Structure 1
Amino acid sequence: MKIIYKISCLLVLLNLAACKKYTDITPKGSLLVESTKDFYDLVSLPNRAYPITNFQYLVDDMWIRESYVIGARKSLDVVHFTFDETENRVNLISSSTFYNQAYKYINRWNTIISLVDASKGENNLKELAKAEAKVYRAFDHFLLVNTYAKAFDPATAATDGGICIMDKYDLEAQPAKSSVKEVYDFIQKDIDEALPYLQDKPADPYHPSLAFGWAFKAKIHLFKREYAQAREAALKSLSYNDQIFDLVAYTKQGGPNVVPVPAANNPEVLSYMYMTGVTEMNFAYTCIISPELRNLFGSNDARFNLFFNTTSTSLLDAGSGTAYFSIGYTKFFYPTVGMKTTEVYLVLAEAYARENKLTEAIATLNKIREKRIISGTVTLTVPVTVKEAMNLIIEERRKELLFGFNRFFDLKRFNLEADYAKTVTRLFPIVNKTVPQQTYTLKPNSRLYIIPFAQDVLKKNPSLKLNTDEIIPF
């Protein structure tokens, strides 16, 4: 049976309208999708982008130039950077590229899952195509629920408002919003159904591998506080890929300006996804890190010394103590949104620590540090308490998992635990002396951590309710 799709419907897959309905677009051509191989090839989607602009300043690791705040209109960036809870943010979010992109990708995966069985081809390739699409569908739901809902709390997840689950190819679907628990159950089901069919070495790096599948499973268990399962899944992932790129040796070679390391040459990478696209690090001057994170790196960390600039007067506020990522993607590929092996080590270290296996936790952490710290204290000693070990792991996560979603998601999940909750403070401005300096505070239970659905979403699906106490202005 020949299955013909409009390019606009299959490749662009239309923009999602609040989990309710898609709009039609006049096609520029058609694409014949006939064989199972055609569907399998659709899983490979280079340049997947997940813009973080809706929440990038709600973390203690990121900073903004002072001229973008002082005297500027009250944009979402300004509201989030100054931790302003008085503003009704729905007024400032007419649409969300991240939200629409994620659901567009989900509909692509649903197209494959729903229709591949009717195509011409081998059954094993059909199962592989569905498995890979399910892993990616789970990944996109994970990003959405952790952005627009409360972090997973075992005590309240069943009643906490989540997001719409899109589980089938249906342009007329009108699903209701699911709870956080229901979304996580759906994610785990997709992953568990996919793992038996994934491959160790897929056809190309844009297909999910077994190492990625198990790494993602480990991450889900970690976020659900299922630490034994997280440990087992992390070890399974590392059995397929346990490589850590040696930045200490790389420093001795001269670094990215002498020895370029493009994406294909970085063995840590488990998945290729981006904040804006494959070339995003060419524009990384927009990724300014805070004085707090810069100080956390210290002076002997190759992750900072190799990649960050602290002196540019055209891209930084001189004297602010900030820094920006200054190495283009062709010189060194640095994963931002996709997973990498060092994140799996960090998941494993945390799982060990939560189980009070502190020796194993710190030994795992030291495997990363041995490839990151140039001099001084390279290997950490085993602390006495779980809390001390966890603090070391949290610090290492901040330094290793830069940009993207990781710190935002981490703050949300750790803020649910008294031992690790953090009140973020921001002294601003640092350089400008014409306006009073203030201390801005982001409390662990702030509603700002839950991003409200955008106006276009809410207008097209009136039954969709916010997960915050903000007001819909229509």
Structure 2
Amino acid sequence: MQKHIYILLTILSAGVLMGCEGYLDQKPRKSLVVPETLDDLQALLDNAVIMNSNVPGLGLLASDDVFMEEAGWAGLFAEMEQQTYLWRRDGGFEVIGEWNGAYQKVFYSNVVLERLHEMEEVVSANERGRWMALKGAALFFRGSAFYDLVRIFAQAYQPGVNDSEMGIPLKLTARVTERPGRATLEETYKQIIGDLNQAIEFLPVTASSLNRPNKPVAESLLADLHLQLGNYSMARDLSSSLLQAGTLLDFNELNPEDPFPVPFLNSEVLFQSVMAVYSFTFSSLVQVNPILQASYAANDLRGRIFLNRQNPQVVTFKGSYCGNFDYFAGISLNELYLINSEARIRTGDVAGGMEVLNTLLEKRFEAGTFQPLEASSVATALAFVLMERRKELLFRPSRWYDLRRLNNDSEYATTLVREMGGNTYILAPGDNRYVFPIPQVEVDQGMKQNP
């Protein structure tokens, strides 16, 4: 057993996440304990601070969900956040936390996978189910971390178009001496899909905690991935079987006067995960885009559940599925409805896609007032579902990913514009700034930087 590669129950110091060494170079402390049992491995994966937190969120700040005036922008604590909001790359701009946090999840996952491989021949029949569940969970966490990384640090993937462009380093062992270069986009997505498909084979149908993945959770993430890649039949088939995985919230039963009206671990949450914390996530001056504010109809309860309108001049977001200031970044039933609706529409089933969308929306409007949306063409139906994704998944990382994929379609490509300090900032579709820079410390050690 290679004891030097293992780590147990110890959260790596803040220096690992934010310091000046590359995460791929980090050496585990010699004093850390070797995981010997299934309980040890479960404890590693149950470390929610590592495995269920720090999902990259700078894409949200760069998206058109967010709006702020000069006072809000000046109040952001980190230059990194100020630069991100204006899509600037000057002044030594770096994204270290997102890189290191995701590769920390990859490291934990690889430790578990390697130890499980060593235990495979000796695990008892009674423990076989736990062994399989742990393997599935580790594969899920690794695949989801790679998926987070590639959507921040690489171009939006178009299969058959940019297969050979740079993806991310695929760290597949816990050996700290291994420093893989950047795989291609095709290789990266092949690995992610492989991890998730294997996870589906090993995971149980149910899990004892929403911090733990199960089979429907892995299938849900895979459905999202296929939607992002334009594999609409796959996204449709995967998500169709998952619409009964939870229960839609009836927004009529929520109290819009509550500071955080959406309950924590509510019936729509299939997997709990939290976006990384930034100063913009708790600023009282970071607003919801005014265009989005105006998009909610008077009888659409989301306009009261999601938006804090106490100060009409500064309308902020209050509808996180975390039930507090944290921003939800997990897997939820409402997003599955939207995935399924869009995938059905894009594969020609307009009636079916609109039925799924209307089933969701009926739970969002004042009882007895909802008039089902009607569409007779794919184009009209698609416009409906894409707008409802924006309104329903407000202030989640997904908007940035949607911008990236939709920019490949001239019909839905969006040019983003900000006004700040008398200057105009523009982010055009396909701009290189849709890809964040690799941390300089990795570049200094030979890794290729993004354009």
TM-score scaled to structure 2, two decimals? 0.86
Find the residue that maps to 1:33 and give its secondary structure: coil
Cα 1:352–1:71, aligned 2, differ >3 Å: closer, same or farther?
closer
| SS at structure 2 position matched to 1:372 | coil
| 1:197 aligns to 2:196 (yes or no) | no
Letter of the aligned partner of 1:37 in structure 2? D
**In the alignment, what sits opposite 2:337?**
345
Residue by residue over 1:66-123, the C-alpha shift from the partner in whole angstroms, topping out at 9 and shown as x without a partner, is: 2244699993434443345xx446x122x51111000001100111011123346433
Percent identity of the aligned residues? Answer: 23
1:414-447 CA distances to partner (integer Å, 9 max, x unpaired)? 0011121111233x35xxxxx64x5543211212
Q: 2:435 aligns with which of 450, 459, 462?
A: 450
Residue 82 of structure 1 aligns with an amino acid whose one-letter code is: L
How far apart in 1 are the matches of 2:449 and 2:364? 42
Q: How does 1:30-429 map to 2 (within 5 A)?
A: 30-31=32-33, 33-47=35-49, 48-50=52-54, 52=56, 54-69=58-73, 75-84=79-88, 87-88=89-90, 91-93=92-94, 95-119=95-119, 121=123, 122-239=127-244, 241-250=245-254, 254-255=255-256, 257=258, 262-264=263-265, 266-276=266-276, 283=282, 285=284, 288-312=287-311, 319=313, 322-326=314-318, 336-374=328-366, 378-426=370-418, 428=419
| 2-structure distance, mates of 1:421, 1:413 | 9
Mapped contact 2:282–2:325 kept (Cα < 8 A): no
Structure-2 residue corresponding to 1:432 = none
In the alignment, is the contact (CA less than 8 A) between 1:282 and 1:328 conserved in 2?
Answer: no
Letter in 2 for 1:415: N
CA drift of 1:391 comes to: 1.5
1:308-359 per-position Cα deviation (integer Å, ceiling 9, x unaligned): 22334xxxxx73xx52124788856986211101111111011111112111
Q: Aligned partners of 1:232 and 1:408: how far apart in 2?
A: 25
Q: Does the CA-based 8 Å contact 1:214-1:236 persist in structure 2? A: no
Q: Secondary structure at the match of 2:183?
A: strand
Q: Distance in 2 between matches of 1:330 and 1:70?
A: 27
Change in 2 beyond 3 A, CA 1:409/1:244: same
Contact 1:19 1:175 in 2 (8 A): no
CA distance in 2, matches of 1:324, 1:236: 35
> What are the Cα deviations for residues 281-330 of structure 1, in whole angstroms up to 9, with x where unaligned?
99374652111221122433222302422334xxxxx73xx521247888
Q: Which moved more, 1:119-128 or 1:416-425?
A: 119-128
Three-state SS of the structure 2 residue aligned to 1:297 is: coil
Change (3 A) 1:300 1:271: same
- CA separation of 1:213 and 1:74: change in aligned 2, threshold 3 A: closer
Contact 1:50–1:101 (Cα < 8 Å) also in 2: yes
Could you report, residue by residue, the CA deviation over 1:248-301 in whole angstroms, capped at 9, with x for unpaired residues?
233xxx34639976424x011111111136x99993746521112211224332
Residue pair 1:148, 1:163 contacting (<8 A) in 2 also: yes
CA contact (8 A) 2:64 2:289 kept: yes
Verify the 8 A CA contact 2:35 2:41 in the aligned structure 1. Answer: yes
Q: Distance in 2 between matches of 1:325 and 1:363?
A: 28
Letter in 2 for 1:233: L
Match of 2:287, as an amino acid? I
Give structure 2 stretches of 5+ with no counterpart. none
Q: 1:328 to 1:19 in 2, by over 3 A?
A: closer
Change beyond 3 A, Cα 1:117–1:458:
same
Answer whether contact 1:132 1:198 (CA < 8 A) is retained: yes
- Given the superposition, is the C-alpha separation of residues 440 and 208 from structure 1 closer, same or farther in structure 2, using an over 3 Å criterion? same
Runs of 5+ in structure 1 lacking a partner? 313-317, 430-434, 469-474
Once the two structures are TM-superposed, the CA of residue 223 in structure 1 deviates from its matched residue by: 1.4
Query: Partners in 2 of 1:422 and 1:116 — Cα distance?
Result: 46
Task: Using the TM superposition, name which of 6-15 and 443-452 deviates more.
Answer: 6-15
Q: CA deviation at 1:5?
A: 7.8
Following superposition, the deviation at residue 3 of structure 1 comes to 6.8
By how many angstroms is 1:384 displaced? 3.0
CA-CA distance at 1:402 after TM superposition? 2.2
Moved more, 286-295 or 133-142: 286-295
**How high is the TM-score relative to the length of structure 1?**
0.82
The number of residues matched between the two structures is 440
Whole-angstrom CA distance in 2 between matches of 1:72 and 1:209: 37
